[in-house]
């Protein structure tokens, strides 16, 4: 069954939109059509969090809540889901939700414009966790900017939730919502609005059929990058194929030798798995973007976009990941090291999509990754460096080193790798090797960092690797 209707819950009411404009953002829909103005536009690029709303979805019989940026998600995203906006948190008799109440009590709002976004981020944290430590609180609101308070009162408000009864109005209405969500359980959709189309297949088989019949489409796999075409460049995306509703693309498989991640797996889901194997990968992912971004952004999307500032790319390069690519009638495997060919250009052909990414588990290797940016939270890397060393008998047997954020393409540092190979694990080895990075890298200078800084830090990261391997202690201040 194909539907042309986006069906979703606005809190506890079923809403249906026939053939919506597939380029309309959820924020725009909320403000101009629902006429609810609590959700604000601060930047229209997912960088400030003022537009944060919470999405409820069924996950093994429970409702899983995710904060997202409504300014960079399009209306069809809502299909089959529950949308919660800040006004919905106030109970029918006007009582504030505990999260809202805490924000009032701890003076968490001043001008108030960012406040609804903070409330929604904290609400999703409140619902998804049992207790809230500093790390969780900071992560939960790292994608929300406040220019007035300096955040301290908001953190205190969040901490106070530890003492609050978790049984809120939403727990009480849970069964009803679960039933409703099951009732609207999403079908595959095909929207046609004027000259714009939007496909959202549910299976790979469907996907292949759509690919066969269409050309000139854009894949949407989270859309934290693609949507900016509409919200920033003011262009239209005439044909979209959404990959995020395909369950076969949303999985994590782990065996002895590798982790395989479905291309449409969200970064939030992935980070929790990778943590056990590559702690630094996890640490970089935490700073990859805000929770709102990581909740919708996918690993496949990050790879296919091939942005030089995509933080997973240098890491996957140094881990020698493999990309499983499919088209309607073919399957192939490409090492990621052969995948990127230019600025935002990959070897993916028009009718091909990424099915999954296989990340080898180098259990004996030493893996290190560093993200350097002006700001800790939600910033774009000036340099993202990833290092994978195989050490045998105090000798470097193999070294896989890659950098992102430096130039048009994320890149391996092959000259440096070569000079390190078969050398003893000493400071001299690394001091000598770091100069070879000048051969490997030709960084750009821009508003984030100068050419000189980028190159120097890249070299210093190599030294940091040695120091950390030598002392078995981290050298980082953040």
Partner 1 sequence: MSKENYIEEIRPHDSAYKHVSGYAEYTDDIQEPKGTLYGAIGLSKKAHAIIKKIDLTEVKKSKGVISIVTYNDIPGRNDVGPVFKGDPIFTKNKVEFYGQPLFAVAATSTELARKAVLKAKILYRDLKPIITIKEALNKKNFLFKPKKIKKGNPSKKIKTSKNSLKGNFTTGSQEHFYLEGQAAFVIPKEDDNLLVYTSTQHPSETQQLIAKMLNQKSNSVNVVVRRIGGGFGGKETNFMTACICALLAKKIGKPVKLRLDRDDDIILTGKRHEFFSEYEVGFNNDGVIQGLKLNLSSNCGMSPDLSAAINERALLHLDNAYYISDIEATNYLCKTNICTSTAFRGFGGNQGMMVIENIIDNISRYLKKDPLEIRKKNFYQNSKKNITHYGMSIQDNVINEIFRKLEKKSNYKKRYLKIKKFNEKNKFKKKGIAITPVKFGISFTTVHLNQAGALVHIYTDGSVYLNHGGIEMGQGTHTKIAQLVANSFGLPYNLVHISSTNTSKVPNTSASAASSTTDLNGAAALNAVSKIKLNLENFIKKKYKIHNHEAVYKDQYIVFGKQNFEFKKIIHEAYLNRVSLSSSGFYSTPKINFDKKKFKGRPFLYFCYGAAVSEVTIDTLTGENVLERVDILHDAGKPINPALELGQIEGGFVQGQGWLTIEELNWKPNGQITTFSPSTYKIPAVSDIPKKFNVEIFKDGLNKEKVVNKAKTTGEPPLMLAMSVFYAIKDAVASVGNYKISPTINAPATPERILMSINKIKNQLENKNGR
Ranges within 392-451 binding partner 1 (CB under 8 A): 446-450
Question: Quick one: which of 9, 26, 54, 89 contacts partner 1 (CB under 8 A)?
Answer: 89
364 and 392 in contact (C-beta within 8 Å)? no
Q: Which of positions 217-236 make contact with partner 1 (CB under 8 A)? A: 232, 234
Residue 397 structure tokens: 């047997």
Question: Per rule CB under 8 A, is residue 92 in the interface with partner 1?
Answer: no
Question: Quick one: which of 115, 197, 200, 312 contacts partner 1 (CB under 8 A)?
Answer: 115
Question: Quick one: which of 14, 16, 105, 212 contacts partner 1 (CB under 8 A)?
Answer: 105
Q: Which of positions 15-34 make contact with partner 1 (CB under 8 A)? A: 28, 32
> Measuring CA to CA, which residue among 306, 301, 349, 292 is closest to residue 326?
349
Q: Which is nearer to partner 1, 352 or 378 (CB)?
A: 378
Give the Cα separation of 220 and 333 in Å (integer): 22
Question: Per rule CB under 8 A, is residue 39 in the interface with partner 1?
Answer: yes
Question: Per rule CB under 8 A, is residue 146 in the interface with partner 1?
Answer: yes
Question: Per rule CB under 8 A, is residue 55 in the interface with partner 1?
Answer: no
Question: Per rule CB under 8 A, is residue 142 in the interface with partner 1?
Answer: yes
Query: What secondary structure letter does DSSP report for 33?
Result: I
Question: Quick one: which of 108, 223, 262, 405 contacts partner 1 (CB under 8 A)?
Answer: 108
Q: Which of positions 452-471 make contact with partner 1 (CB under 8 A)? A: 452-453, 456-457, 460-461, 463-464, 467
User: To the nearest whole angstrom, how small is the minimum distance from the Cβ of residue 44 to partner 1?
Assistant: 6
Stretch in the footprint of partner 1 (CB under 8 A) among 45-53, 257-265, 313-321, 408-416: 45-53
Site string for partner 1, 353-382 (x = CB under 8 A): -----------------x-x-xxxxxxx-x
Question: Per rule CB under 8 A, is residue 42 in the interface with partner 1?
Answer: yes
Question: Quick one: which of 10, 15, 34, 138 contacts partner 1 (CB under 8 A)?
Answer: 138
Stretch in the footprint of partner 1 (CB under 8 A) among 102-110, 180-188, 208-216, 324-332: 102-110
Give the Cα separation of 118 and 154 in Å (integer): 8
Question: Per rule CB under 8 A, is residue 109 in the interface with partner 1?
Answer: yes
Give the Cα separation of 264 and 301 in Å (integer): 7
225-233 CB contacts, 8 Å cutoff, 24+ apart: 225/301, 225/305, 225/307, 226/305, 227/25, 227/72, 227/73, 227/74, 228/45, 228/72, 230/23, 230/25, 230/74, 231/25, 231/44, 231/45, 231/71, 231/72, 232/44, 232/45
First to last CA, the chain: 51
Query: What secondary structure letter does DSSP report for 30?
Result: I
Q: Across 19-116, where does the E strand assignment appear?
A: 52-59, 62-69, 82-84
Question: Per rule CB under 8 A, is residue 141 in the interface with partner 1?
Answer: yes
Size of the site for partner 1 (CB under 8 A): 83
Stretch in the footprint of partner 1 (CB under 8 A) among 57-65, 88-96, 249-257, 393-401: 88-96
11 and 88 in contact (C-beta within 8 Å)? yes
Q: Are strands 62-69 and 239-242 parallel, antiparallel or unpaired?
A: unpaired
Residue 228, phi then psi, degrees to nearest 5: -65, -20
User: To the nearest whole angstrom, how small is the minimum distance from the Cβ of residue 233 to partner 1?
Assistant: 9
Question: Per rule CB under 8 A, is residue 45 in the interface with partner 1?
Answer: yes
Listing DSSP states for 318-378 in one string gives: HTT-EEEEEETTEEEEEEGGGTEEETTEES--TT-EEEEEEEE--TTSEEEEEEE-SSSSS
Q: Which is nearer to partner 1, 147 or 395 (CB)?
A: 147
245 and 186 in contact (C-beta within 8 Å)? yes
Residue 155 structure tokens: 């953190």
User: To the nearest whole angstrom, how small is the minimum distance from the Cβ of residue 404 to partner 1?
Assistant: 16
Q: Which of positions 153-172 make contact with partner 1 (CB under 8 A)? A: 153-155
Question: Per rule CB under 8 A, is residue 136 in the interface with partner 1?
Answer: no
Q: Which is nearer to partner 1, 164 or 252 (CB)?
A: 164
């Amino acid at each position: 069954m194909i539907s042309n209707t986006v069906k979703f819950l606005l809190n506890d009411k079923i809403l249906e939109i026939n053939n919506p404009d597939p380029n309309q953002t959820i924020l725009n829909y909320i403000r101009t059509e629902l006429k609810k103005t609590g959700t604000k536009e601060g930047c229209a690029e997912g960088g400030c969090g003022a537009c944060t709303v919470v999405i409820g979805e069924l996950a093994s019989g429970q409702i899983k809540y995710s904060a997202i940026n409504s300014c960079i998600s399009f209306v069809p995203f809502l299909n089959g889901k529950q949308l919660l906006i800040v006004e919905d948190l106030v109970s029918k008799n006007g009582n504030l939700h505990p999260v809202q109440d805490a924000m009032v009590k701890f003076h968490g709002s001043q001008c108030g414009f960012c406040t609804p976004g903070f409330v929604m981020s904290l609400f999703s944290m409140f619902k998804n966790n049992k207790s809230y430590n500093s790390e969780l609180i900071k992560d939960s609101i790292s994608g929300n900017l406040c220019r007035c308070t300096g955040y301290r009162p908001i953190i205190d408000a969040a901490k106070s939730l530890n003492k609050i009864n978790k049984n809120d109005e939403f727990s009480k209405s849970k069964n009803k919502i679960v039933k409703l969500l099951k009732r609207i359980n999403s079908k595959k959709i095909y929207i046609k609005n004027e000259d714009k189309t939007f496909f959202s297949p549910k299976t790979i088989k469907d996907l292949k059929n759509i690919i066969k019949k269409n050309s000139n489409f854009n894949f949407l796999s989270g859309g934290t990058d693609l949507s900016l075409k509409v919200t920033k460049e003011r262009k239209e995306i005439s044909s979209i194929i959404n990959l995020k509703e395909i369950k076969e693309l949303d999985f994590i498989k782990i065996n002895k030798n590798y982790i395989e991640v479905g291309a449409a797996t969200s970064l939030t889901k992935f980070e929790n798995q990778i943590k056990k194997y590559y702690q630094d990968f996890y640490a970089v992912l935490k700073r990859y973007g805000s929770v709102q971004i990581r909740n919708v952004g996918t690993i496949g999307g990050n790879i296919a976009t091939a942005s030089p500032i995509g933080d997973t790319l240098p890491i996957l390069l140094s881990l020698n990941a493999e990309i499983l690519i499919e088209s309607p009638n073919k399957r192939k495997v490409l090492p990621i090291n052969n995948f990127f060919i230019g600025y935002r250009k990959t070897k993916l052909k028009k009718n091909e999509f990424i099915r999954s990414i296989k990340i080898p588990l180098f259990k004996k290797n030493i893996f290190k990754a560093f993200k350097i940016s002006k700001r800790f939270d939600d910033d774009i890397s000036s340099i993202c460096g990833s290092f994978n060393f195989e050490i045998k008998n105090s000798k470097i047997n193999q070294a896989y080193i890659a950098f992102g954020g430096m130039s048009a393409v994320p890149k391996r540092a092959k000259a440096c790798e070569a000079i390190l190979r078969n050398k003893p694990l000493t400071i001299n080895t690394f001091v000598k090797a770091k100069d070879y990075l000048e051969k490997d890298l030709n960084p750009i200078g821009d508003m984030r960092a100068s050419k000189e800084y980028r190159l120097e830090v890249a070299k210093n990261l190599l030294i940091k690797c040695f120091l950390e391997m030598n002392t078995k202690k981290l050298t980082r201040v953040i």
